[in-house]
Structure 1
Amino acid sequence: MHIKFTIDGATVEAVLEDNPTARDFASMLPMTAKFEDFHSTEKISYLSRKLSTEGATADYEANVWDITYYVPWGNLAIFYREYRPSRDLIKLGRITTGREALLRSSSFTATIESVEK
């Protein structure tokens, strides 16, 4: 599934994984989410509810521009710098275009919605 983030008129596109947690996230779309910088490594946003982790594989080493779900806190995390492996991350997808819009400010509000491709 393809999704897009709209941030101050800029479009960021991403592709979601085919796993139960990513599908649960997709079921919440469209949504508006507030993101903030965390440790100069990732942009995080707290969701309105926890995502299903049933059948999902945690213990994942995030790559730059991955969209992940941090299970203990129930938040999205989009990595823009390298990060160590974590048993608590589940990969949801990957940013494909428009990455620079995520770095314009330390915090921002984004509309996230699915798109037909």
Structure 2
Amino acid sequence: MKRRTAAILLLAFALVSCSPSPTGEATPTSASETSSPAAGSVVGTVVRFSAGSVSLDVTIGEDNPATRDFLSMLPLTVTMEEFARREKIADLPRPLQFEGSPGSDPQDGDLIYFVPWGNLGFYYNTSGIGFSDQTIHLGRYNATPDELARLEDQEVRVEVSP
């Protein structure tokens, strides 16, 4: 009975903690509120990148300071562009708080945060790229390079998927 009461209180707190966005939509006020109340982790949160009728879902796969800070910025709008025939990149409005986030060995289909430039990267050709403390894994997506290209050079809305 105590667990049920605690879960109800936690859910009520999460609902009350949402603040209206400029468009009037309720959005979480911190990254922890985007997570599952029972799990207390942001792993599994789905973030949608969309422009017009095109959308791409990223499933958060890491619970680290960079991922939590990224989620706390949502919703936001970015512009994606091609970089080095390896990835699509997008600048964030500010650098992420990443201290304590482990580096990674990126794979095709990874969404990463690149510390030196403060940008997101959607890797689709990681051949020859190895582990780096400066490349922080955020999540995974499932799209071809052609599908990614459909989000290039336009405003892309980034938000937690309902």
Percent pairwise identity: 35
| Letter in structure 2 aligned against 1:73 | W
Equivalents in 1 of 2:89, 2:113: separation in Å?
9
Query: Higher strand share goes to which structure?
Result: 1
Equivalents in 2 of 1:11, 1:27: separation in Å?
20
Conserved 8 A contact 1:14-1:97: no
Conserved 8 A contact 2:79-2:154: yes
What are the superposed Cα offsets for residues 44-77 of structure 1, whole Å, 9 maximum, x if unpaired? 111111101121112x211111000000110101
Residue in 2 that maps onto 1:49: 94
How many equivalent pairs are there?
Answer: 115
| Letter in structure 1 aligned against 2:159 | E
Structure 1: state its 5+ residue gaps: none
Structure-to-structure mapping, 1:1-117, within 5 angstroms: 1-16=45-60, 17-58=62-103, 60-83=104-127, 84-85=129-130, 86-96=132-142, 100-104=146-150, 106-116=152-162
Task: Say which SS state the counterpart of residue 63 (structure 1) adopts.
Answer: coil
Q: Report which of the two structures shows the higher radius of gyration computed on alpha carbons.
A: 2
Residue in 1 that maps onto 2:37: none
- Range with greater deviation from structure 2 (8-17 or 96-105): 96-105
Conserved 8 A contact 2:111-2:123: yes
TM-score, scaled relative to structure 2: 0.65
How far the C-alpha of 1:99 sits from its partner, in A, is 6.9
Cα separation, partners in 2 of 1:12 and 1:99, compared to 1, 3 Å: farther
Conserved 8 A contact 2:124-2:144: no
Structure 2: state its 5+ residue gaps: 1-44
Superposed CA RMSD in Å reads: 1.9
| Letter in structure 2 aligned against 1:80 | Y
User: Comparing both chains, which one has the higher relative contact order based on Cα–Cα distances under 8 Å and sequence gaps of 6 or more?
Assistant: 1
Equivalents in 2 of 1:105, 1:53: separation in Å?
26
TM-score, scaled relative to structure 1: 0.87
